[in-house]
Structure 1
Amino acid sequence: MDNRYVKVAVVQAAPILFDKQSAMDKIGSMSRQAAAEGAKLIVFPEVFLPGYPRGLGFGARVGSRTEEGRQHWRRYWASSIDIPGAETELLGELAKELGVYLIVGAVERDREFSRGTLYNTIVYFGPDGDLLGKHRKLVPTGSERLLWGQGDGSTLTVIDTPYGRIGGLICWENYMPLARAAIYAQGIDIYIAPTADARDSWQATIRHIACEGRCYVLSSNQYATKSSYPADLAGHEDLREDDEILSRGGSAIVGPLGEYVAEPLYDKEGLLFATLDLDQVAQSRFDFDVVGHYSRPDIFRLIVNDAKQEIVKKSSDLVRE
């Protein structure tokens, strides 16, 4: 097997919001479709499981929250997943069945402390079915801060594979230069950038990252409509003035010199495919290597705190340390 080449698939779709089973079913069907076309690495959008609640206010205003909004959020919490948990076991089995690397955006429930905090997370599975790692979004954007907690440096995850090193950041944390630098410094070859941003400016972002990091960028977005929201959703009035298409997509695959390998897909659900030539990563770094010969560690230095942040420590743990 020539590991210089790998066929990849980027998914553009959305499940029925707040419907965990709908998301799992769609992950299964679209992964099988992608694998049937020869894909060995499959990427799903930001919080695909159980969906990105675009346009919903959850009854929140500055200084107050409504009871209905709390019930609404509880529904979102109930449709989220534990990592590891029942859903990750099923996703691992799917990756093993298909023999693929499977990368899924999910809403993760905190398992360690209150179980009341959610995180916007990328989950990585290997072709042997193993849960290889996860990344929690460092800073939820705007009103997302009401829904999700902040990740820490312990999940700036990069995975070794036969096709190079795979990792990435979620949506607008890709606008954080130091977060990108932390990923580049781990020798990234295939950069995963799931998003909820369908604007033209996002295309400039992923092309810049590819050119800056001299890596392939796989960006996966949802194609979401009002009809993908459940009929009994309490927040439908929040969407009254919105267009039927809530997210037009814009998923794309970009090469290590910033050129499109697969052009952006808009206004429909679908799969994007590309065969990546990993030799092009090395070739692209001939004249620019952001953490190699084009860095100046005598002038600039980044310190990354990669320790897991804990709010509670037992005295027995301190003694062992």
Structure 2
Amino acid sequence: MSTKFIAAVVQASPVLFDLEKTLAKTAHLVTEAASKGAKLALFPEAFISAYPRGLSFGTVVGSRSAEGRETWLRYWNSSIEVPSKATAQLGEMARKADLFLVIGVNEKDTVSGTMYCTMLYFNPKGELLGKHRKLKPTAAERIVWGEGDGSTLSTFNTPLGKMGGLICWENYMPLARMAMYQKGVQLYLAPTADSRENWQHTLKHIALEGRCFVIGCNQFVTKSMYPKDLPGITDLDHQPEVMSRGGSVIMAPTGEVLAGPLWDEEGILTAEIDIEEVMKNKLDFDPVGHYARNDVFSLTVKDQPDSEVFE
């Protein structure tokens, strides 16, 4: 069995705040990734159906506005339940394209009324393998997203390799990274909303630290992509036209850049992955193996799930 395959990162924007049109665009992009030979396609953080960059939702310390609540409702209505008709559609996209699909979504809990920043995993059979909820939303993200409880720090044993990952600035949390290394992650997926050039250094560090392939994916978004009738649209008056430059990239366990970074446009990056490179690079460093000091350090993760095996 070949240890090589093509991985793709999809740098694009959703149709902001429009679930059905975003799903249609996603289907087109999944098909395009498959046409490039991809067996794994990663989409950005909160791709369905918006990362609410620049929006305040009418909040300041001590008060909220009626207009902000209307913006929130629009955001909520463009998000998805897991599982749902929308996740079934995403699974069907993965099945038709015969690839693993990993995509960032806004997951709404209709019982509690809480929304989570979530990463969904689908296999080529169209099955929803599982999800990861972001552990710690950053700064004003905490207005719109709840915190994951740690029970979804998942990795999945697949024919491509053991895949898992963290969302955006979770990757700055050393113990969260260590939790992924403890589970033997080989394909480290890092959807993000961070388009700073410094983010590239973070991904390179993870590749070298974890001795894993790192696949980073971001949106390319402009102000003109926001719906003109969005209640909170005036929040964007002082924002630049290009609100997220992208910066998607694929890195090897050596820290070598295999594809990207892609800036200032939508596009699909691909790179050939040879999973045996992971083991080759553990000759001289393994953060949880021969380079660990388990007699000095230990990490226990509450409710961490076992790795699951999928063919």
State if a TM-score over 0.5 links the two structures.
yes
2:134–2:147 CA contact under 8 A, matched in 1: yes
The total of aligned residue pairs comes to: 305
Deviation at 1:122, TM superposition (A): 0.2
1:96–1:129 CA contact under 8 A, matched in 2: yes
Among candidates 150, 160, 170, match of residue 173 of structure 1: 170
Runs of 5+ unmatched residues, structure 2: 306-311
1:20–1:49 CA contact under 8 A, matched in 2: yes
Aligned partners of 2:222 and 2:25: how far apart in 1? Answer: 16
TM-score, normalised on structure 2?
0.96
1:305 correspondence with 2:306 = no
Secondary structure in 2 matching 1:234: coil
Q: 2:239 corresponds to which residue?
A: 242
Aligned 1:36-55 pairs, distance under 5 A: 36-55=35-54
Deviation at 1:35, TM superposition (A): 0.2
1:266 correspondence with 2:263 = yes
1:280 correspondence with 2:277 = yes
Q: Deviations over 1:193-230 (max 9, x none)?
A: 00000001100000000000000000000000112111
Q: 1:62 corresponds to which residue?
A: 61
Q: Which amino acid aligns with 1:97?
A: K
Aligned partners of 1:243 and 1:190: how far apart in 2? Answer: 34
Q: 2:308 corresponds to which residue?
A: none
Runs of 4 or more, structure 1, over 4 Å off, are none
Q: 1:209 corresponds to which residue?
A: 206
1:125 correspondence with 2:113 = no
Q: 1:163 corresponds to which residue?
A: 160
Runs of 5+ unmatched residues, structure 1: 309-321
Deviation at 1:241, TM superposition (A): 1.2
Aligned partners of 2:277 and 2:165: how far apart in 1? Answer: 19
Aligned 1:70-85 pairs, distance under 5 A: 70-85=69-84
Once superposed, what is the RMSD of the aligned Cα atoms?
Answer: 1.0
Secondary structure in 1 matching 2:191: coil
Secondary structure in 2 matching 1:33: helix
Deviation at 1:307, TM superposition (A): 6.2
Q: Which amino acid aligns with 2:193?
A: A
Q: Deviations over 1:139-198 (max 9, x none)?
A: 000100000000011100111100110000000000000000000100100000000000
2:152–2:304 CA contact under 8 A, matched in 1: no
Q: 1:29 corresponds to which residue?
A: 28
2:211–2:253 CA contact under 8 A, matched in 1: yes
Aligned partners of 2:93 and 2:28: how far apart in 1? Answer: 10
Deviation at 1:263, TM superposition (A): 2.2
Q: 2:309 corresponds to which residue?
A: none
Deviation at 1:236, TM superposition (A): 1.7
Q: Which amino acid aligns with 2:105?
A: A
Secondary structure in 1 matching 2:221: strand
Aligned 1:93-242 pairs, distance under 5 A: 93-111=92-110, 113-114=111-112, 116-242=113-239
Q: 1:89 corresponds to which residue?
A: 88
TM-score, normalised on structure 1?
0.93
Secondary structure in 2 matching 1:230: coil
Q: 1:311 corresponds to which residue?
A: none
Q: Which amino acid aligns with 1:174?
A: N
Q: Which amino acid aligns with 2:136?
A: V
Q: Which amino acid aligns with 2:228?
A: A
Aligned partners of 1:157 and 1:18: how far apart in 2? Answer: 28
Aligned partners of 1:231 and 1:20: how far apart in 2? Answer: 16
Q: 1:169 to 1:307 in 2, by over 3 A?
A: closer
Deviation at 1:16, TM superposition (A): 2.1
Aligned partners of 2:5 and 2:210: how far apart in 1? Answer: 19
Report sequence identity in percent. 54
Deviation at 1:22, TM superposition (A): 2.1
1:23–1:51 CA contact under 8 A, matched in 2: no
2:153–2:304 CA contact under 8 A, matched in 1: no
Q: 1:317 corresponds to which residue?
A: none
